[in-house]
Amino acid sequence: MKWFQREVRLPAVKRGFHLITDLLTAQLPELEDIKTGLAHVFIKHTSASLAINEDADPTVRQDFESHFNQLVPENQPYYRHTLEGPDDMPAHLKAALLGSSVTIPITNGKLNMGTWQGIYLCEHRNQAAKRTVVVTLQGEAF
């Protein structure tokens, strides 16, 4: 059984849903050494999240952003955590709904995802900084 772990710093992006699959795999040459296993991706932040969804049509990511903005609106009178701006508490709620990690099978040195699947960085803050993810690879080596 082979284990590998790396922190990957993601570039700062505007609020929205951004594909990061290629960015991650480009920084993980060790992926090619695993015949059968799992990749676990964990984001080290409370106002951004990760998800797996449609990677071909960018309107899907736009619709995700629109939907979550309606589901969790800013400037609600019942929010008490407001010191960091009107987008902060909604960002925490969106991150809790979507989650902080994804796990993907590895088969023959590649992420074994569906044809139209990709990993999203779900950025919920208007003025976000760079984000960090921890990627843990485990599995049977070639």
- Residue 20 to residues 2, 44, 73, 99: CA-CA distances in angstroms? 24, 15, 26, 16
Q: How far apart are the first and last CA of the chain?
A: 10
Q: Report pLDDT digits (tens) over 17-52.
A: 999 999 999 999 999 999 999 999 999 999 999 999
SS3 state of residue 30: helix
For the question of whether the overall pTM of this predicted structure is more than 0.85, the answer is yes
CB burial of residue 14 (10 Å; 0-12, 13-18, 19+): exposed
C-beta separation of 129 from 91 below 8 A = no
Looking at the domain covering 2-141, what would its CATH class be?
A: mainly beta
Domain ranges of the chain: 2-141
Q: Report pLDDT digits (tens) over 96-125.
A: 999 999 999 999 999 999 999 999 999 999
- Residue 14 to residues 17, 54, 108, 122, 134: CA-CA distances in angstroms? 9, 19, 34, 10, 21
